[in-house]
């Protein structure tokens, strides 16, 4: 007796996410995935298979990690840039790109170098310079040469020298950008309390527009010399913290009223840095959240578990050079954070803003309330393809590409 031929089991239709390529048996599960994942064209992605990832670290693991994606890893090993993770058509194009992608360490101007303890002409006060001043032999990268601008005498000069800190941006170039870094010494009985002892602010062209040593409000019990390079005499005639706070606020708000800066920004400057919450706390000040660009909290620069990387790690992995090899230099840290910001801002994303927002983009609180995958609208979503779902999806963070002066389309 002949057995009847077996029928092949019906194929189960899979619904594939166009961003991360996860597959689901039910369409409703894919929509729920899109609702909670916040996929968008602003996410980092593999240059080979175009898979979206939550962070650049995830992309790096996808290409070079312990269990890399085979085809992607092979192509990346020959035509991929280890810093920006872009893929190029040929090895020649890759070599030409590497010259511009790998940056060189920033040379600290003389006025922010602490290693002058044996010199009588060191100034522990404030230096504020005009970044648009003409270059001459006594100026380095827009910074006034301290040796040539003061009398050589044994007494420390503690007066505040203030000049125009305008970066000279035109109105159509978008908000002005400055980067800030603070160095901390220790206070309290065990020296564990962070006290701001040094502040540096630079403009977008890496020119110093403000630098000062700071006199803490309580006694310093640990100068942390190995990390800060500071000694007791550096802070003897330093400017009091409250005066530094007022000057920093003057630079950041740029003449804008407080209420307008907190609502719309206006002329207030974008503030770039690493772990800025800590720096601002030690300066006893606050700044509007929508004007802060923190490399420690920017989602694509964080670990896969949303823990911050150190600035030293980010600089090595994304810019290609080392910082903080000895005593920390606030100018060096400012430049590193600024370069990271500019590299992230220049990402060529397909869409320039969020649905319902202006070309300059909205903040996280505004955009996260516009989740287009609300269950009440699922009936309309059933008619859409996975690509259509990705096109209408929005991120849950403000992408820095939206700060670009020329909005990508």
For residues 350 and 391, give the distance between their C-alpha atoms in angstroms, rounded to a whole number.
10
Instruction: Using only the alpha carbons of the chain, give its radius of gyration.
Output: 26
CB 18 within 8 A of CB 31: no
Q: What is the pLDDT of residue 2?
A: 58
Note the pLDDT of residue 367: 45
Q: Residue 361 in contact with residue 354, Cβ under 8 Å?
A: yes
87/50 Cα distance (integer angstroms): 11
Query: Sign of dihedral through CA atoms 147, 153, 158, 159?
Result: negative
Q: Is the pTM of this model over 0.95?
A: no
Answer for the pair 153, 266: CB distance below 8 angstroms, yes or no.
no
**What's the pLDDT score for residue 370?**
63
Q: Is residue 207 within 8 Å of 141, Cβ to Cβ? A: yes
Q: What is the pLDDT at residue 165? A: 53
- DSSP, collapsed to helix, strand or coil, labels residue 388 as helix
Q: Copy the structure tokens of residue 318.
A: 């994304």
Residue 97 DSSP one-character state:
H
Range(s) of the chain covered by CATH 3.30.420.10: 177-346
349: its two tokens: 């994303």
CA atoms within 13 A of residue 269's CA, in its CB half-sphere: 26
Taking the C-alpha atoms of residue 401 and residue 399, their distance in angstroms, rounded to an integer, is 5
CB 402 within 8 Å of CB 353: yes
Residue stretches of the chain with pLDDT short of 50: 116-124, 130-163, 169-172, 352-368, 406-409
Q: What was the pLDDT predicted at 408?
A: 40
Question: E-strand spans in 176-289?
Answer: 177-187, 193-203, 208-215, 220-222, 239-240, 270-273
Contacts of 222 (CB under 8 A, 6+ apart): 185, 186, 187, 191
Distance CA 361, CA 116 (A): 46
Q: Report how far residue 261's alpha carbon sits from residue 269's, in angstroms, rounded to the nearest whole number.
A: 9
Model confidence over 206-248: pLDDT tens digits?
999 999 999 999 999 999 988 888 888 888 889 999 999 999 9
User: Strand pairing partners for 316?
Assistant: none
3-class secondary structure, 38: coil
Would you say domain 177-346 falls under CATH 3.30.420.10?
yes
Q: What CA dihedral angle connects 173, 206, 344 and 247, to 10 degrees? A: -80
């Amino acid at each position: 007796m002949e057995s009847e031929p077996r029928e092949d089991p019906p194929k189960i239709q899979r619904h594939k996410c166009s961003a991360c390529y996860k597959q689901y048996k039910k369409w409703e599960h894919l929509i729920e995935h899109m609702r909670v994942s916040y996929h968008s064209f602003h996410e980092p992605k593999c240059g080979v298979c175009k898979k979206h990832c939550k962070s650049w670290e995830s992309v790096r693991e996808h290409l070079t990690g312990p269990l890399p994606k085979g085809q992607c890893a092979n192509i990346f090993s020959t035509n991929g840039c280890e810093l920006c993770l872009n893929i190029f058509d040929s090895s020649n194009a890759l070599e030409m790109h590497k010259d511009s992608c790998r940056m060189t360490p920033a040379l600290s101007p003389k006025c922010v170098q602490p290693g002058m303890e044996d010199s009588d002409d060191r100034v522990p006060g404030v230096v504020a310079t005009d970044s648009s001043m003409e270059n001459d032999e006594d100026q380095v990268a827009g910074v006034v040469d301290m040796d040539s601008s003061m009398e050589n005498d044994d007494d420390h000069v503690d007066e505040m020298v203030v000049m125009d800190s305008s970066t000279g941006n035109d109105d159509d170039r978008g908000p002005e950008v400055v980067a800030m870094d603070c160095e901390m010494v220790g206070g309290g009985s065990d020296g564990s309390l962070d006290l701001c002892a040094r502040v540096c602010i630079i403009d977008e062209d890496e020119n110093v527009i403000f630098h000062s040593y700071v006199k803490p409000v309580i006694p310093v019990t640990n100068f942390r010399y190995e990390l800060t390079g500071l000694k007791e005499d550096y802070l003897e005639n330093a400017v009091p913290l409250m005066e530094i706070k007022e000057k920093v606020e003057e630079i950041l708000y740029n003449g804008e009223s407080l209420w307008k800066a907190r609502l719309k920004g206006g002329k207030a400057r974008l503030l770039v840095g690493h772990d800025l919450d800590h720096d601002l706390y030690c300066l006893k000040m606050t700044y509007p959240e929508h004007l802060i660009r923190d490399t420690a909290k920017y989602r694509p620069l964080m670990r896969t578990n949303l823990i911050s990387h150190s600035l030293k790690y980010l600089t090595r992995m994304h810019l290609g050079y080392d910082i903080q090899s000895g005593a920390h230099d606030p100018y060096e840290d400012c430049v590193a954070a600024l370069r990271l910001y500019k590299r992230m801002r220049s990402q060529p994303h397909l869409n320039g803003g969020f649905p319902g927002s202006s070309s300059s983009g909205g903040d996280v609180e505004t955009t996260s309330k516009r989740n287009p995958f609300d269950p009440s609208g699922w009936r309309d979503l059933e008619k859409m393809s996975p690509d259509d779902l990705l096109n209408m999806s929005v991120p849950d963070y403000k992408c820095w590409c939206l700060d670009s002066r020329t909005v990508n389309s």
